[in-house]
Amino acid sequence: MKKLLLLVTAFGILTGCKSTKTMTATTANQTKTQSTYWQQHVDYKMDIDMDVNTYQYKGKQTLVYTNNSPDVLDRVYYHLYFNAFQPGSEMDVRSRTIADPDRRVGDRISKLAPNEIGYIKVNSLKQDGKTINHETVGTVLEVALAKPIQPGQSVTFTMDFDAQVPKQIRRSGRDNAEGVALSMTQWYPKLAEYDFEGWHAHPYIGREFHGVWGDFEVNLTIDKNYVVGGTGYQQGEAEVKGNKKTLRFKAPKVHDFTWAADPDYIHDTMQVPNGPMLNFYYKKDLPAENLQFWKDLQPKTVQLMQYFSENIGKYPYDQYSVIQGGDGGMEYAMCTLITGKRKFGSLVGVTAHELAHTWFQFLLATNEAKHEWMDEGFTSYISDYAVDAINNTNLKNPAAGAYNGYYYLVKSGKEKPQTTHADRYDTNMAYGITAYNKGSVFLSQLGYVIGKENLKQTLKKYFDDFAFKHPRPIDIIRTAEKVSGLELNWYLTDWTQTTNTIDYAVASTEENNSITTVNLERKGLMPMPLDIEVEYTDGTKEQFYIPLQMMRGEKPVATTTKVLNDWAWAMPNYSFSISKAKNMIKSITIDPNQLMADVDKTNNTLN
């Protein structure tokens, strides 16, 4: 049985295996009622021969696919990502027609010469030794099976393919702007994911990825002078024949395999105490200042690894590599590719963000085409807090920049619900802010709703419960409900499925017999509980908390905080009393810590 199947069995996941005759009826019924989750499994073995002069390579792939679904499959799909880097591709046309094209792409694909384009050409494909029909449609290979794959069945696909590395434009490619020879990401025919929603064979237009977990064995033959880093563990020493060497890698329980290579890489290592070995690959011809930055980055990365392992969950692999390459920063299995000519703060920031993706993109692995905010947003949130912690900056709200980005998007009028498919946004701006900023605010504001400590426990439980399981939005909110004891579906609905906004106001005050009545107003459609701070003229402050009725409970508050009656959402107005005269009150403020994403803060304080 595959390693991943053993893993998911340990999680109590239905793998599609039939019950044995000796299984008792009670045990069988428990299995049916306690476990309905399944996921597919794939193992890759690839032999790759790279010509660093032509940037072309030949590949042989043996792929064992296990159908753990309850469905009979009569077709499969592969992603051929490199085909996006051809004039007239969907990525090319979309970049030239969107209102605000990514400047890294622009119209560059349309201008690629034949020896600069990317491609993956499948020469032959067999299912259990029998040739099967297939058709390349853009960045997707459509495959009609010779024989349907039954539930619980494993089949073997063997493939020969030729490929060419494109001139580096987006993430992948050769000879990037900093002179890195090969950034090899999304470079092989990759089987598409099939889950309870069906196939996810989306074209590669510019966004990110979704994959099937499994074990990889990759034998890479390349020029002997090239230094290679990336996913997996090298098996023994390189085998050198003539001007080439063969490197053998194994990578267990990953859903992708990435590598980068250059003859001028420096390779440094640093051990994380009780954690993985860190590898750093960067060009020796960087300016002296940048070379020093890469040295200084290494102990910071140790701290980042420790922070994420402590605050989300333990990193499960034995190595992680930070590699100069690509076109900015992008996360992959056991590694990231980042550009290296940066100021030190930027170098630490991009490393923090991409390293954090290991948890939200590679270990939890939401479907980024559909729920990109769960990956980008959660990563942005935790990396902002991590950088604040390791730099000892002690910011009041490390995620404040995310709130400001969200406010900008709301005012622009271009916001779409977070349920929008990643490729369907009108603008790159709206996609970016929705995924990164609004996604970050989702978590930060959730901490406001349920309490900071509950949020910390939610993140840890979310990781413990859903690592290696492709969680969906309902899974994070149900985890928060289990931790906090509160009902939170309203929060998930309004924040992610609508563009409803939060806007509460301190409308007025009235005094009667030295008792002041405070009148509040809900002006936005999205409901929230409220923290209220009243400052008195003598300099003292008093805290009030108004629970939201549909939460069916309250977050933990200090014993000195006065908990008021619930506010029902349909009621636009709410009043409470203070046992002091108006002239003794200096100010009344909604959300004094500004953790609620109220779109109009001008009415949040009454002086």
Inter-residue contact 496 to 418 (CB < 8 Å): yes
The confidence score (pLDDT) of residue 25 equals: 35
d(CA 260, CA 348): 20
| Long-range contact pairs involving 71-76 (C-beta distance under 8 Å, separation at least 24) | 71/151, 72/148, 72/149, 72/150, 72/151, 73/145, 73/148, 73/149, 73/194, 74/144, 74/145, 74/148, 74/149, 75/142, 75/143, 75/144, 75/145, 76/143, 76/145, 76/149, 76/157, 76/191, 76/192, 76/194
Grouping H, G, I as helix, E, B as strand and the rest as coil, residue 64 is strand
Inter-residue contact 534 to 544 (CB < 8 Å): yes
d(CA 285, CA 181): 13
d(CA 205, CA 95): 9
Of 575, 580, 581, 541, the residue nearest 561 (C-alpha):
541
**Token pair for residue 40?**
């597919």
Q: Which residue has the tokens 């073995």?
A: 45
Q: Which residue has the tokens 């399944």?
A: 38
The confidence score (pLDDT) of residue 110 equals: 98
**Token pair for residue 366?**
């939401």
Of 45, 79, 43, the residue nearest 64 (C-alpha):
43
d(CA 177, CA 104): 10
Please name the helix (run of DSSP H) or strand (run of DSSP E) that holds residue 536, with its range, or none.
strand 530-536
d(CA 446, CA 477): 9
Interstrand relation of 73-79 and 140-149 (parallel, antiparallel or unpaired): antiparallel
The pTM of the full predicted model, rounded to 2 decimals, is 0.93
Distance of CA 1 to the CA centre of its chain: 29
d(CA 71, CA 479): 29
Average confidence (pLDDT) per 10 residues, the chain, 607 residues: 35 34 35 70 98 98 98 98 98 98 97 98 98 98 98 98 98 98 98 97 94 98 98 98 98 98 98 98 98 98 98 98 98 98 98 98 96 98 98 97 98 98 97 98 98 98 98 98 98 98 98 97 98 98 98 98 98 97 97 98 97
